[in-house]
Amino acid sequence: MNKIKIYICLLLMATSWKATAQDFSPKVFPDRVILTWSGNPSTSQTVTWRTDTTIKAAKAQIKAEDSSPELETAVATLDAGTQTLSGGQNYATANYHHVTFKDLKPNTVYAYRVGAGEYWSEWFQFTTAPAQPAPFSFIYLGDAQNDIRSKWSRVIRKAFSHQPDARFIIHTGDLINRSNNDKEWGEWHYGGGFINGMIPSIPSPGNHEYIRNDQKQLILDPHWGVQYTLPDNGPKGLEKSVFYIDYQDLRVISLDSQLITLDETAEKLQYEWLEKVLKENKNLWTVVTFHHPIYSTSKSRDNKEFRERFKPLFDRYHVDLVLQGHDHTYSRGQNLPRGLSGRDVSGPVYLVSVSGPKMYKVDGKKWMNVSLENTQLFQLIHIDGQDLKFEAYKASGELFDAFSLKKTNRDQAAAFKDLNPAEK
């Protein structure tokens, strides 16, 4: 009898464990629906999603939103491109599908869904960019990385509740903790949920999206290229992680800092490409985003060679914001052209932030005007013509830091004004 009781207890424990482990395996219904751009944000929109391998001919449907429940009528139906991500010991093989909606009307709300046969997603909405300059906002999130489903999800959702009409979300790397871990990617997509299907993402990879193969070569997580359909305008061979997007009068440039810091050939390719992209830039505002800070909050994590190589480009072409992650703290400081002891400030504002729960200490405050430890944050950036406003919020929704920039000429640095609420 005692043996039977023990067996029943063990069975109940095993059943309980299974009930608490979330199933992120692919199925016939679409999941991990996410918007990105591979073309002009005013006239196109790209969507990518996942299914199991039984879905081989997926489709997407779209129509201009008219608020009618008759969504299935008068829709345009497009065939999806499909890529297979081979599984292994840790996860199942899955198909990733993508469609780029083209010839859209600027500043228009569209409804769309994705699927095949009887298996369709819900209807999502997105809004194309205006053809003419108009005020807009976007979200900037530092590393998610750890306890993504449990502790990061509330941060992206709080950011969305603060700015539900945000036009895109910048992620500055280390979106997950272990490269090629499908469960962690499942948590990341779960955390973003329907937000990812409504607001386009602009992701840059971090060191945790990389792993070295048997030949000690750096390999980008294979999930990256199939789940993010991005512009094909980066350096040859680095298009999946290095690219730029023009949204109205703003150019957002994504670099792959893991390769900059560890691969000399890739560093040279990115430098030459970046100089060309900055030189040809006709937009008033420029944001550069990548993972490893060129000014670190930690003495032991200084990226001196990266800074000495790329900082002159940021200065020469009047980059306005440099958005970074990696250091798991918050810090904000302005460019110091005469060295760290100089008094006159100008040029880019350098930001480091963290949205996930993993935290580090700040032990190098020389370059920072504002810093914060042990706090999950999200940031909102608002652009209205010649005015830019930056706001950093704690996960609670409390405003922590703010500043503004005014810029009348793309060939000059923006004028900076500190709006830090702690100093009011």
Residues 86 and 152 in one domain: no
- Tell me, yes or no, whether 120 and 265 share the same domain: no
| 279 lies in the same domain as 167 | yes
Answer yes or no: is 375 within a domain.
Answer: yes
Nearest-Å Rg of the Cα atoms of the chain is 22
Does residue 113 lie in a domain region? yes
Place 7 in a pLDDT band, splitting at 50, 70 and 90: low
**What confidence tier does 339 reach under pLDDT thresholds 50, 70, 90?**
very low
- The total number of structural domains in the chain stands at 2
Same domain, 151 and 273: yes
Exposure pattern of 24-36 as b/e (b: 16+ CB <10 Å)? bebeebbbbbbbb
Among candidate residues 96, 127, 158, the one where a domain is terminated: 127
Q: Residue 14 falls within a domain, yes or no?
A: no
- CATH number, domain of 121, equals 2.60.40.380
Q: Which of 88, 103, 127 is the last residue of a domain?
A: 127
pLDDT at 424 over 90: no
Greater confidence (256 vs 298) lies with 256
* Residue 20 covered by a domain: no
What dihedral angle (degrees, nearest 10) is formed by the CA atoms of 359, 364, 369, 374?
Answer: 20
Residue 144 domain-assigned (yes or no)? yes
Q: What's the mean pLDDT in 126-136?
A: 96
User: What pLDDT is stored for residue 343 in this prediction?
Assistant: 43
Q: Taking the mean position of all CA atoms in its chain, how far away is CA 192?
A: 11
Containing structural domain, residue 113: 31-127
> Do residues 84 and 151 share a domain?
no
Ramachandran assignment for 69, one of left (phi > 0), alpha (psi -120 to 50 degrees), beta (any other): alpha
Q: Is the pLDDT of residue 81 over 80?
A: yes
Average pLDDT of 217-224? 95
- Are 148 and 275 contained in the same domain? yes
> Judging by DSSP bridges, how do beta strands 169-171 and 201-203 pair with one another?
parallel
Residue 22 resides in a domain: no
pLDDT at 392 over 60: yes
**Poorest-pLDDT segment among 209-223, 224-238, 294-308:** 294-308
Residue 14 — pLDDT band, cuts 50, 70, 90?
low
Pairwise CA distance, residues 177 & 200, whole Å: 22
Which run of H or E residues covers position 61?
A: strand 59-64
Together in a domain, 103 and 234? no
pLDDT at 185 over 70: yes
Residue 11 has a pLDDT of: 55
CA max distance for the chain:
84
Which sign does the torsion angle of CA 186, 189, 191, 194 carry? negative
For residues 314 and 344, state if they share a domain: yes
- Residue finishing a domain among 76, 94, 127: 127
Q: Is 401 exposed, middle or buried (0-12, 13-18, 19+ CB in 10 A)?
A: buried
117 and 155 together in one domain: no
Q: Is there a single domain that holds both residue 120 and residue 229?
A: no
Mean pLDDT, the chain, whole residue set: 92
**pLDDT (average), residues 51-76:** 97
In a domain, 278, yes or no: yes
Residue 417 belongs to some domain of the structure: yes
What CATH number has the domain bearing residue 418?
3.60.21.10
On the question of pLDDT at 15 being above 80, the answer is no
Categorize the per-residue pLDDT at 174 as very low, low, confident or very high, splitting at 50, 70 and 90: very high
Please give the backbone phi and psi of residue 332, each rounded to the nearest 5 degrees, phi first. Answer: -145, 130
Average pLDDT over residues 236-244: 95
For residues 152 and 300, membership in a common domain is answered with: yes
pLDDT for res 272:
98
- Say whether pLDDT at 311 is over 50: yes
Q: Is the same domain home to 274 and 307?
A: yes
